[in-house]
């Protein structure tokens, strides 16, 4: 993938100074995109990796407003080495998954303090993650409906681990985790993101990149089961899991986030 980035008023600074910076928030699948930009622009671009923030437990427990503030101060600290003015130095934000939500929130809250030229989100729950609303009873029903399939799944994956799902539901109910509660559909934070992209962001181009599985079942099965398991069992799992993730029937998703949330469809 190649991205052509241009700016109406190129930033001018010392010869050793880059012309713009790309801030990467949560870099797993985004890495090929970032590598392509680095190859295309060379020393003209500064890559600011903010992904290390996502390995900090305390960071993820805080509200998305707090995470956005910390991301802002992190960007300022990284820009100091180039002795540039943050209000005029061009930035491109690339946010993957929750990083896409944080990137949009950063642009909404600090656009007057940063020169954000574009936002790219990848597989981000921009309209929330319905799976975070699931109760222990709903998880138990899902397990019951997919019993014939679950015993053939690769249990190294979180979605195949029943105790992982139950533990997540219990944790969300018993302990207030602001960083996760902010990702609930219709939360104050999610409404801010929707309003920002649809209304406030008309001066900042936003590219929303999404993905989905056409048949999640075939990716989770162990090798023996993928050959011998009846197709109707796999289809039954796909239907049950899709409804478990999206709250609706026959809705596309990427395994955790509905396609409609990634693209802000109604």
Q: For residue 123, is it left (φ>0), alpha (ψ between -120 and 50) or beta?
A: left
Can you give the pLDDT at residue 223? Answer: 61
Q: How far does Cα 63 stand from its chain's mean position?
A: 15
Cβ atoms of 249 and 243 closer than 8 Å: yes
Average pLDDT, the chain: 82
Q: Higher confidence at residue 55 or residue 188?
A: 188
Q: Higher confidence at residue 158 or residue 72?
A: 72
Q: Where are the alpha helices (DSSP H) in 152-230?
A: 162-174, 178-181, 188-198, 216-220, 223-228
Q: For residue 97, is it left (φ>0), alpha (ψ between -120 and 50) or beta?
A: left
Cβ atoms of 169 and 135 closer than 8 Å: yes
Half-sphere exposure of 1 toward its Cβ, with a 13 Å CA cutoff? 10
Can you give the pLDDT at residue 24? Answer: 93
**Which of 62, 66, 248 has the alpha carbon at shortest distance from 265?**
248
Half-sphere exposure of 202 toward its Cβ, with a 13 Å CA cutoff? 3
Which range is least confidently modeled, 1-10, 125-134, 136-145? Answer: 1-10
Residue pLDDT, tens place only, 219-246: 776 665 566 777 787 888 888 888 888 8
pLDDT of 79 strictly over 80: yes
Strands 115-122 and 206-209: parallel
Which residues contact residue 177 at a Cβ distance below 8 angstroms, ignoring those fewer than 6 apart?
61, 171
**Residue 129 DSSP code:** -
Can you give the pLDDT at residue 6? Answer: 45
Q: What's the mean pLDDT in 96-123? A: 95
- Domains, the chain, in order of start with CATH, read 20-122 (3.40.50), 130-182+214-252 (no CATH)
Distance CA 171, CA 56 (A): 18
Strands of 20-25's sheet in order across = 45-49, 20-25, 90-96, 115-122, 206-209
């Amino acid at each position: 993938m190649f991205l052509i980035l241009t700016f109406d008023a190129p930033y001018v600074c010392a010869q050793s100074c880059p012309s713009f910076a790309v801030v990467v928030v949560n870099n797993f699948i985004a890495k090929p995109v970032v590598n392509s930009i680095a190859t295309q622009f060379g020393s003209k671009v500064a890559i600011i990796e903010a992904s290390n923030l996502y390995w900090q437990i305390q960071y993820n427990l805080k509200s998305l407003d707090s995470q956005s503030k910390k991301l802002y101060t992190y960007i300022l600290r990284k820009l100091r080495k180039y002795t540039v003015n943050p209000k005029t130095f061009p930035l491109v934000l690339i946010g993957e998954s929750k990083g896409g939500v944080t990137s949009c929130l950063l642009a909404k809250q600090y656009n007057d303090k940063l020169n954000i030229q574009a936002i790219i989100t990848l597989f981000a729950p921009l309209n929330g993650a319905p799976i975070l609303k699931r109760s222990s009873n709903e998880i138990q029903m899902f397990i019951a409906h997919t019993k014939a399939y679950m015993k053939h799944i690769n249990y190294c994956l979180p979605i195949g681990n029943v105790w992982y799902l139950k533990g997540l539901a219990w944790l969300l109910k018993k302990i207030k985790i602001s960083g996760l509660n902010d990702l609930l559909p219709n939360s104050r934070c999610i409404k801010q993101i929707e309003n920002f992209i649809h209304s406030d962001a008309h001066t900042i181009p936003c590219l929303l990149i999404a993905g989905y599985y056409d048949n999640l079942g075939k990716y989770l099965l162990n090798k023996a089961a993928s050959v011998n398991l009846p197709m109707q069992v796999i289809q039954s799992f796909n239907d049950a899991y899709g409804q478990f993730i999206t709250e609706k029937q026959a809705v596309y998703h990427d395994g955790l986030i509905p396609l409609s949330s990634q693209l802000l469809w109604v």
